[in-house]
Structure 1
Amino acid sequence: MKPDPLVVRQAISWALRLRNNRANVRLQAQCEHWRAAHGEHELAWQRVQALQQELSSQLTTIPGAQAALENSAQGLGRRQALKVLSGAVLMGSAAWMGRDLTGWPRWTSDLATATGERRSVQLPDGTRLQLNTDTAVDLNFSSQERLITLVRGEILVTCGAVSPVPLLVNTRHSVLEGIDGRFAVRQDRDCTRLTVVSGNVAIHSPHRADGLSTQVHTGESYRVQERRAILTPSPDMDMGAWADGLIVTRGIRLDEFLAEVGRYRHGYLGCSADIAGLRLSGVFRLEDTDKLLAVLAQTLPVQVRYRTRWWVSLEHLA
């Protein structure tokens, strides 16, 4: 369940009023009454609180940023302060985290993970759903429907053919039907990537003129766009290894490898053009990406340069 955007804005408004009037017992009671009036109010309140805590923890690493934000919010009216909070969320996501997300999908979706976080849940029908870094999904499960909507990010689904109701995964580009087995789905800007680890998956595209589905079998990978599904060569990276906290590569380019590692950390991670084409194979642990980069420096003729905590680049070893 995700709260209505209007309710979310009401929760933000209450949070700002209480922040600037912490000693006002009457205001606190009014907020408690609003929260208790409807379950959706409490859900929105908890998600706003979680977002504020995350933002505060990020700003504490930036000298003076937290104090500047508080002083700005206290000096403004409620409407302007609301804009400050929204702007801070955008700034924290786009500038400090180096990403193009606003954070809203994470706390308005049924299930979500932050950058670097992975999560595993068992759904009501027994299906195992695993969420990779920076992922958000919505769920609709009933006696008539089993639907996972991938809002953003990447999931690994393990299912069985035990229900007469089909298990569907909805993305921006198609609807996937899990027949049985295990399959990974990753939603990029221009396509959805599907890899079937075991079992079978059907790709349904509402835009295909013939109305036919594409059947995908064990070991196959597809790049799915709105009007076509393209069988791709075996990827140079194990698409499901992240569920075990690993990146497993086979001759992947260094720049592509760093782009993948960058999904699990905040800020910029890249390399100079003269080493971008270096190839590497191996098994790398995701639990500490700084240690992972240190391993690269021992494996390849490269050195790791930290300009700041959020700006890391690899250069050719002098």
Structure 2
Amino acid sequence: MKWRGTSLLGDEVGLADGSTVVMDSGSAVNVDFSVNLRRLQLVKGEIYIETAPDKVGWKRSFVVDTLEGRVQALGTRFSVSQHENRTQVAVFQDAVEIQPADAMTVKQTLRAGQQAQFSANHIEPIHRHSQEKPAWTQGFIVADDLPLSEFLLQLSRYRPGYITCDPEIADLRIIGSYPLKDTDRILAFLEANLPVKLLHPLPFWVKVLPR
């Protein structure tokens, strides 16, 4: 079974075991519940999960697989995001266990208020966070010293069409919390406060250029 996040602020899906998955816009996930395992495969994008006790008579593990490895829930609320060559995990309640695809890499446990990224053979240092849920589930995009190119890539999930960023300004840093209900206003704010300008060569195509 496969689901894809289609709305601009994500879709909420109830699973057969009582767990809930919220998918960020443009995300895709495969669901595979077997006799022994509750498994999600994150194909792209980001998901937020609230796990429930298994309804069957035995306890099946709940896992999320990505290109880089596996995240196992330990009775928890958490998010998993698929990026290029890396997976990011944030825990909001209880804990998860990260196992990179390379079995020689030591597993690591993340607890509530912690987040980390991992590749197929390495887990990055753990960092703290103070969110109750991912910002996008509440209609915001949050940037904490984020490169402009990465910020625009995230913003493009929540509006039709394309946003492109000139390499000359790609490393400008973005800080702040921005409501996603009006992405045109976010772009206008960037143009007013950064040395950038917006160009609309075609409908649904925004080019962000040096000013």
Q: Residue 194 of structure 1 aligns with which residue?
A: 89
Question: In the alignment, is the contact (CA less than 8 A) between 1:221 and 1:234 conserved in 2?
Answer: yes
Distance 1:150 1:272 in 2: 30
Question: In the alignment, is the contact (CA less than 8 A) between 1:195 and 1:239 conserved in 2?
Answer: no
The Cα offsets for residues 206-237 of structure 1, whole Å up to 9 and x where unpaired, read as 52237x521112232222222222225568x9
Question: In the alignment, is the contact (CA less than 8 A) between 1:146 and 1:168 conserved in 2?
Answer: yes
Shift of 1:168: 1.0
Q: Residue 255 of structure 1 aligns with which residue?
A: 149
Question: In the alignment, is the contact (CA less than 8 A) between 2:13 and 2:22 conserved in 1?
Answer: yes
Q: Residue 213 of structure 1 aligns with which residue?
A: 107
Distance 1:277 1:157 in 2: 32
Shift of 1:255: 2.4
The runs of at least 4 aligned residues of structure 1 exceeding 4 Å deviation read 232-235
Counterparts in 2 of 1:117 and 1:240: CA distance versus 1, 3 Å: closer
Counterparts in 2 of 1:272 and 1:209: CA distance versus 1, 3 Å: closer
Shift of 1:266: 4.5
Q: Residue 78 of structure 2 aligns with which residue?
A: 183
**How does 1:229-248 map onto structure 2 within 5 Å?**
229-231=123-125, 233=127, 240-248=134-142
Question: In the alignment, is the contact (CA less than 8 A) between 2:100 and 2:121 conserved in 1?
Answer: yes
From 54, 60, 64, the counterpart of 1:165: 60
**2:150 aligned counterpart, secondary structure:** helix
* TM-score, normalised with respect to structure 1: 0.57
Q: Residue 38 of structure 2 aligns with which residue?
A: 146
Distance 2:147 2:120 in 1: 28
Matched, 1:291 2:185: yes
Counterparts in 2 of 1:299 and 1:181: CA distance versus 1, 3 Å: farther
The Cα offsets for residues 83-103 of structure 1, whole Å up to 9 and x where unpaired, read as xxxxxxxxxxxxxxxxxxxxx
Question: In the alignment, is the contact (CA less than 8 A) between 1:185 and 1:195 conserved in 2?
Answer: yes
**1:229 aligned counterpart, secondary structure:** coil
Distance 1:234 1:306 in 2: 39
Distance 1:230 1:112 in 2: 28
The Cα offsets for residues 55-114 of structure 1, whole Å up to 9 and x where unpaired, read as xxxxxxxxxxxxxxxxxxxxxxxxxxxxxxxxxxxxxxxxxxxxxxxxxxxxxxx21123
1:269 partner amino acid: I
Distance 1:127 1:118 in 2: 16
For the aligned residue pairs, the C-alpha RMSD in angstroms reads 2.8
Distance 2:175 2:132 in 1: 11
2:104 partner amino acid: A
Counterparts in 2 of 1:166 and 1:287: CA distance versus 1, 3 Å: same
**1:230 aligned counterpart, secondary structure:** coil
**1:250 aligned counterpart, secondary structure:** strand
Distance 1:214 1:118 in 2: 29
Distance 1:259 1:119 in 2: 20
The Cα offsets for residues 145-170 of structure 1, whole Å up to 9 and x where unpaired, read as 3111112221111124x342211111
Larger proportion of strand? 2
Q: Residue 69 of structure 2 aligns with which residue?
A: 174
Q: Which has the larger radius of gyration?
A: 1
Asked which structure has the greater RCO (Cα within 8 Å, sep 6+), the reply is 2
Distance 1:153 1:277 in 2: 22
**How does 1:23-38 map onto structure 2 within 5 Å?**
none
- What are the ranges of 5 or more consecutive residues in structure 1 without an aligned counterpart? 2-109
Matched, 1:132 2:27: no
2:144 partner amino acid: R
2:85 partner amino acid: D
Counterparts in 2 of 1:274 and 1:228: CA distance versus 1, 3 Å: closer
Tell me the percent identity.
Answer: 28
2:64 partner amino acid: V
Distance 1:112 1:268 in 2: 19
Counterparts in 2 of 1:171 and 1:316: CA distance versus 1, 3 Å: closer
Shift of 1:274: 4.7
Distance 2:173 2:192 in 1: 14
Question: In the alignment, is the contact (CA less than 8 A) between 2:9 and 2:139 conserved in 1?
Answer: no
Q: State the number of aligned residues.
A: 206
